[in-house]
Amino acid sequence: MCGIVGYIGELQAAPVLLDGLEKLEYRGYDSAGMAVFDGQDIHIVKSSGRLKVLRELTEEGALLPGTMGIGHTRWATHGSPTDVNAHPHFNKDDSIAVVHNGIIENYLKLKKKLEKKGYEFISETDTEVIAHLLDYYYNGDPLDTITKIMHRMEGSYALGIMFKDHPEEIYAVRKDSPLIVGQSEEGNFIASDVPAILKYTRDVYFLENEEVVKLKKDSLGFFNIDGETIEKEVTTVDWDMSAAEKGGYEYFMLKEIYEQPKAVRDTINPRLKENRIEIEELNMTDEEIREIKKIYLIGCGSAYHTAMTAKYVFEGLARIPVEVDLASEFRYRNPIFEENSLAVVVSQSGETADTLAALREAKEHGVRTLGIINVVGSSIAREADSVMYTWAGPEIAVATTKAYSTQLIAHYLLAMKFAYVKGKLDDGQLADMISQLKALPEQIEELLSNKERIQRLANRYLATEHVFFIGRGIDYAISLEGSLKLKEISYIHSEAYAAGELKHGTISLIEENTLVTAVITQEELYKKTISNVQEVKTRGAFILAVTNEDNTEVEKTVDYVIYLPKTNQYFTNSLAIIPLQLFGYYVSLGKGLDVDKPRNLAKSVTVE
Ligand code: AGP
């Protein structure tokens, strides 16, 4: 998604903005720009392409002198990624500059009104409408002007705004798009996310929806939509800088793949007390847990895939009916909510617009909500009734790996806790599962030590055009994630299928040497899946099997086997995903692609 950075203080602003925007590159973008006030005027430099272009155009910021500025990386929504559509945008006399993350849904209506009043537009963006709307309502008082446009805009926005006749102030406001405020000795900041300002400060304020902030170089003022002053608490973020750096790895994605043992351990340990599972942040008594009659699991992309896995785990262990939804579908399908339900929304960023909207839909119907979230203080984390954080640390690569793995762990812990409280697991069974859970980090490490074997296999498929992933039950859920990992970073078409479903149509696509990856970890389904493997094998497919180390029988049928250490049947996705992540990574690497920032993708999709 778009990235916003703003700075006002003692330092030259442009280098600070460039530095901050670089830390936001992982969000995905296709153009970038800055506006800096030089004491007389606001100057804008912007261009399509990577930040490198902006650095060259401004000679690392030297050609944009001044100590107050706003910067932006744009992930195009309205209008193609051209210089003209890049942010910041000016009003008609260059006295107001604005950057924006989000979508103004009624921008065309506003644009028509402004055109009737003589305003001319040079870009295709909704953001330029904001610049002229500010101009139209501007009465010399920035706060009053901003609150006026807030009442007229529909949709999502995080805005950074400068007014030429208020050269000591930057303003910012948000609704449904993330924005934080940073405070330091050297000045004050706005940013879309913590990594952008971590180099300068750890003291941040999380803006709530429809809150406005006025930054001066040595003070901050917070206001509500009515322009009334409000008080806000500062939060000190404890991310270390290295966590947001590559640490010697070629790509963040590989670093984050290798951080999975630690991330899994860090997510398990705070919830284990001797041989019991304690999830205090759930804020639910055992009685309240026993009353749960239905669980809704909701997310997007990989988060949704963890929900697919979790359905089998919750229903298998706790015997609670589970409904799994894509957030973008859930919010519009007029869902039927049952009494005594729990809606669990899963999101790494905690800012995904569809997932945030699904959370609100559930809350509006009085359903108790729980967020499984990785980013502390994110919008979903703040709006859910309870939050179960995944302690994966900052995840920079667009393709999620460690956050995905820790989301699985969160689901397992919840399902085991619910099963135990409901009497579906006794002390001994729970103790066994806990010891299997605690063994996962080491088993992941063991799989990671085989990366060269995966790399060699991946290098044989750089030119392949189609790959299929099949599995039954939990193995189908992990096939979805394995397929997405390959697609999103190698641009190879891939599909995941329930193994039993392939013969109902898609098997017609299988040709000589088509790569089919069969995940076969559910013992009671071994034979069924093998028969599906034989169906594609007879049609020429090359079969890569990912299976348990004791299932050597498969070698009679498949062409290549990756064995997984033995674990509980409900935990196998946590192991099967490792070779699938590495496979996708090495195919992308072998194709010379930008593994961390795949084309068209953003790390957090804060628009619909
Ligand atoms: C996963 O690799 C993708 N980057 C994407 O599918 C992601 O999982 C999805 O956009 C949800 O993001 P969230 O977890 O931050 O809500």
Ligand 1 centre from 558 Cα, in Å? 32
Assess whether the C-beta atom of 355 lies below 6 angstroms from ligand 1: yes
Ligand 1 centre from 150 Cα, in Å? 29
Ligand 1 centre from 386 Cα, in Å? 21
What residue owns the CA closest to ligand 1's atom 6?
Answer: 301
Ligand 1 centre from 61 Cα, in Å? 33
Assess whether the C-beta atom of 604 lies below 6 angstroms from ligand 1: yes
Helix, strand or coil, per DSSP, at residue 63: coil
Assess whether the C-beta atom of 588 lies below 6 angstroms from ligand 1: no
Token pair of 435 as six digits? 């010891």
Q: Are 542 and 516 in contact (CB under 8 A)?
A: yes
Assess whether the C-beta atom of 147 lies below 6 angstroms from ligand 1: no
Helix, strand or coil, per DSSP, at residue 309: helix
- C-alpha span between 492 and 478 (Å, rounded): 18
Which residue is catalytic, options 255, 451, 597, 603? 603
pLDDT at 377: 82
Residues of the chain with pLDDT under 50: none
Q: Are 197 and 188 in contact (CB under 8 A)?
A: no
Helix, strand or coil, per DSSP, at residue 548: strand
Report the nearest atom of ligand 1 relative to the CA of 305.
8
Ligand 1 centre from 302 Cα, in Å? 5
Rounded to 10 degrees, the C-alpha dihedral 418/421/423/425 comes to 60
pLDDT at 276: 92
Ligand 1 centre from 608 Cα, in Å? 13
H/E element, 242 = none
What residue owns the CA closest to ligand 1's atom 9?
Answer: 301
pLDDT at 6: 98
Report the nearest atom of ligand 1 relative to the CA of 380.
16
- C-alpha span between 453 and 274 (Å, rounded): 38
- C-alpha span between 242 and 245 (Å, rounded): 5
Assess whether the C-beta atom of 406 lies below 6 angstroms from ligand 1: no
Ligand 1 centre from 305 Cα, in Å? 10
Assess whether the C-beta atom of 581 lies below 6 angstroms from ligand 1: no
pLDDT at 249: 85
CB atoms within 10 A of CB 265: 17
Max CA distance (Å), the chain: 79
Phi first, then psi: what are they for 604, rounded to 5°?
-135, 120
Report the nearest atom of ligand 1 relative to the CA of 401.
2
What residue owns the CA closest to ligand 1's atom 16?
Answer: 347
Q: How many residues are listed for the chain in this entry?
A: 608
Assess whether the C-beta atom of 390 lies below 6 angstroms from ligand 1: no
DSSP secondary structure, 271-298, as one string? GEETTEE--GGG---HHHHHH--EEEEE
Residue type for 238, please?
A: D
Assess whether the C-beta atom of 348 lies below 6 angstroms from ligand 1: yes
Rounded to 10 degrees, the C-alpha dihedral 383/389/392/394 comes to 30
**Residue to probe by mutation, ligand 1, list 253, 305, 352, 379, most atoms within 8 Å of CB:** 352
Assess whether the C-beta atom of 605 lies below 6 angstroms from ligand 1: yes
Report the nearest atom of ligand 1 relative to the CA of 601.
4
Assess whether the C-beta atom of 486 lies below 6 angstroms from ligand 1: no
pLDDT at 241: 66
What residue owns the CA closest to ligand 1's atom 3?
Answer: 399
pLDDT at 244: 67
Q: Which residue has the tokens 């869902």?
A: 335
Q: Which of 160, 151, 166 is nearest to 210 (CA)?
A: 151
Assess whether the C-beta atom of 300 lies below 6 angstroms from ligand 1: yes
603 is catalytic: yes
Assess whether the C-beta atom of 349 lies below 6 angstroms from ligand 1: yes
Measured over the CA atoms of residue 317, residue 323, residue 327 and residue 328, the dihedral's sign is positive
Assess whether the C-beta atom of 568 lies below 6 angstroms from ligand 1: no
Q: Are 491 and 453 in contact (CB under 8 A)?
A: no
At a CB cut-off of 8 Å and minimum separation 6, what does 298 contact? 304, 307, 324, 325, 326, 327, 330, 343, 344, 345, 346, 355, 358, 359, 362
pLDDT at 176: 85
Token pair of 247 as six digits? 């640490």
Which residue is catalytic, options 2, 46, 485, 487? 2
Residue 316 is given by DSSP the state: I
2 is catalytic: yes
Ligand 1 centre from 184 Cα, in Å? 32
Assess whether the C-beta atom of 375 lies below 6 angstroms from ligand 1: no
Query: Angle, nearest 10°, between helix axes 301-313 and 474-490?
Result: 170
Assess whether the C-beta atom of 606 lies below 6 angstroms from ligand 1: no
Q: Which residue has the tokens 């496979």?
A: 583
Ligand 1 centre from 321 Cα, in Å? 25
How would you classify residue 159: left for phi > 0, otherwise alpha for psi between -120 and 50, otherwise beta? beta
- C-alpha span between 196 and 213 (Å, rounded): 18
Q: Are 392 and 259 in contact (CB under 8 A)?
A: yes
What residue owns the CA closest to ligand 1's atom 5?
Answer: 301
pTM of the predicted model as reported, rounded to 2 decimal places = 0.79
Report the nearest atom of ligand 1 relative to the CA of 399.
2
Helix, strand or coil, per DSSP, at residue 443: helix
Ligand 1 centre from 332 Cα, in Å? 20
Q: Which of 97, 30, 3, 22 is nearest to 60 (CA)?
A: 22
